[in-house]
Copies of this chain bind each other. A is one copy, B any other.
Amino acid sequence: MQKLLLADDHELVRETVADFLRLQGGFNVATAQSFDEAISVAQAQGPFELVMLDYSMPGMDALAGLAKMRAQTGCPVAILSGTATPDVARRALSSGAAGFLPKTLAPQSLVSAVRHMLSGEIYMPLDFFETENEADADINLTPRERDVLLGITEGKSNKEIARDLGIQEVTVKLHVKTLSRKLGARNRTHAAMLGRDLGLM
């Protein structure tokens, strides 16, 4: 029987979900109520074939906990969250999560998601990509701003970007300022990160 580990600090959620997985999925589910306990349980009762961690939980420290658990157990680790944004979901996957499980997921979908991850695939509900694109809709950079943003993400200086685009450095500065304002970025570096996260290039 496949062994799962579910860590969440909300007891109601944790135990009902665990029971559901036991009954509907036929899994052997262990639980933990904090990140540290999850680490202990993983060592004491392991090996597990899949670990699910709540994103906001004592000791979890965001995605650092994900990396720690992956290093510890070597098995797929999924992130569970009730509030997380598409941005967090994408970062979780980039950080090596086996999947992202919003708590709004239909129970039956959870079982198939778990099976899915057990077979070595990445699970990501489509909703998150949809909503992401809607959210982006109100941000529209001009073609030139996009060019400049691309240069920034490649680590180029204003001078280099200007040369590559055949325009003056001052003009690049102008675009940097305007696109940063549109993105709500504090500076060029922040703009680069937001630009990539939002998939603007």
Contact = CB atoms under 8 A, between A and B. Distances in A.
A130 to B, nearest CB: 9
A88 interface: no
A67 interface: yes
Interface residues of A, number: 38
**Copies of the polypeptide in the assembly:** 2
A94 interface: yes
A197 interface: yes
A192 interface: yes
Interface string A73-107: 00000000000000000110111100000000000
Contacts of A166: none
Tell me the dominant secondary structure on chain A's binding face.
helix
Interface in A153-201: 153-157, 185-193, 196-197, 199, 201
Contacts of A122: 122-124, 126, 129
Given A96-B129, A126-B122, A193 B190 contact: no
B197 A94 contact: yes
A63 B96 contact: no
A53 to B, nearest CB: 16
A199 B95 contact: yes
A10 interface: no
A185 to B, nearest CB: 6
Closest 7 CB pairs of A and B: A155-B190, A155-B186, A122-B124, A189-B189, A120-B126, A95-B199, A189-B192
11 contacts: A63-B201, A90-B93, A94-B196, A96-B129, A116-B121, A121-B126, A122-B124, A122-B126, A152-B189, A153-B189, A155-B193
